[in-house]
Amino acid sequence: MLLASPNRHRILVADGDVDMATMLSEYLSMDMFHVTVVHDGLAAMQALARQTFDIMLLELMLPHVNGLELLRRYRRHAQQPVIMMSAHSSEADRVLGLESGADDYLTKPFGPRELKARIRTILRRVAGQPGADGELQFGPLSYRPSTGNIYWNGRVTALTGAEQRLLERLMRLPGQIVSRQDLAIYALGRIPSTYDRCIETHISNIRRKLRLDLPSAPVVLRNLRGRGYMLAAGHSG
């Protein structure tokens, strides 16, 4: 067994495919990650209760407790990044995974180098948050990069890491149109493909959690078709 070190990121791989999980563990361990592998949802929940992981790779179709249910439970008390993996490539499955709290979604089969690149991008952005500038404020909405806390009318609202970074980007450029590509690079560390709906799903989650789609909202998150998104004052702003 690999010994954990302060310089190693802890990764939980939860995948019912033993061969796939073993391959991922061997590949990531060679790159100085400390990897814990489980093959069902109950074992994943037990592992998460025992220790904190820097990131989780979560298979959608896990035995006993499926990946979506596990993710929903996890998001009630933890915001560490999660990459969901699945052989299901439909847009509905990707949207469901992202709406449940995943930071990113990878369709199997995928290359291990692509996975490693996405893991490193997410971990770099999470590590960079404490060093960011001070609190951002826009109307009743505020964001503290040092803690990752989002405040709406003075109350903390739980957002995933990807959602936090998207909102941070928009709050740093209030009243300006921010392109979909800009948001994807800032929040996910990659250029989105034409059919990649990650940004749209994360934006939808932000609107729902902060109620930025209500007609009376003092802050609105607007979609300017073909141009991007903009955080702007609402009717009561």
Taking Cα atoms as reference points, which of 6, 7, 23 lies closest to residue 15?
A: 23
**In CATH, what number is assigned to the domain containing residue 190?**
1.10.10.10
Q: Is the link from the previous residue into 6 a cis peptide, with omega within 30 of 0?
A: no
pLDDT, residue 63, reads 93
Q: Are residues 193 and 106 in the same domain?
A: no
Q: Which residues contact 167 (CB under 8 A, 6 or more apart)?
A: 143, 150, 159, 206, 231
If you compute the radius of gyration of the chain from its CA atoms, what whole number of angstroms results? 18
Q: Which of 129, 151, 179 is the last residue of a domain?
A: 129
Q: Which residues contact 78 (CB under 8 A, 6 or more apart)?
A: 48, 52
Indicate whether 173 belongs to any domain: yes
The number of folded domains in the chain is: 2
pLDDT, residue 126, reads 67
pLDDT tens, position by position, for the chain (237 residues)?
333 444 578 999 999 999 999 999 999 998 878 999 999 999 999 999 998 899 999 999 999 999 999 999 998 888 788 999 998 878 888 888 888 889 899 999 888 888 888 888 888 776 654 444 478 888 888 888 777 788 887 788 888 888 988 998 998 888 889 999 999 888 888 888 878 888 999 999 999 888 887 767 788 899 998 899 998 887 544
Q: Are residues 91 and 172 in the same domain?
A: no
**In CATH, what number is assigned to the domain containing residue 25?**
3.40.50.2300
pLDDT, residue 1, reads 35
CA 36-39-44 angle, 5° bins: 60
Q: Are residues 219 and 116 in the same domain?
A: no
Q: Which of 110, 129, 148 is the last residue of a domain?
A: 129
pTM, two decimal places:
0.64
β-bridge pairing 55-59 and 82-86: parallel
Q: Judge whether 60 and 102 are in contact, CB under 8 Å.
A: no
Range of the domain at 84: 10-129
Indicate whether 141 belongs to any domain: no
Indicate whether 172 belongs to any domain: yes
Q: Are residues 27 and 68 in the same domain?
A: yes
Burial 84-119 (b: 16+ CB within 10 A, else e): bbbeeeeeebbbbbbebbbbbbbeeeeeeeebeebb
CA 222 to chain centre: 21
pLDDT, residue 7, reads 57
Indicate whether 165 belongs to any domain: yes
Alpha-helix residue ranges (DSSP H) falling in 87-160: 91-99, 112-128
Q: Are residues 97 and 20 in the same domain?
A: yes
Q: Are residues 92 and 172 in the same domain?
A: no
Indicate whether 185 belongs to any domain: yes
Indicate whether 142 belongs to any domain: no
pLDDT, residue 70, reads 94
Indicate whether 139 belongs to any domain: no
Q: Are residues 164 and 125 in the same domain?
A: no
Q: Are residues 107 and 178 in the same domain?
A: no
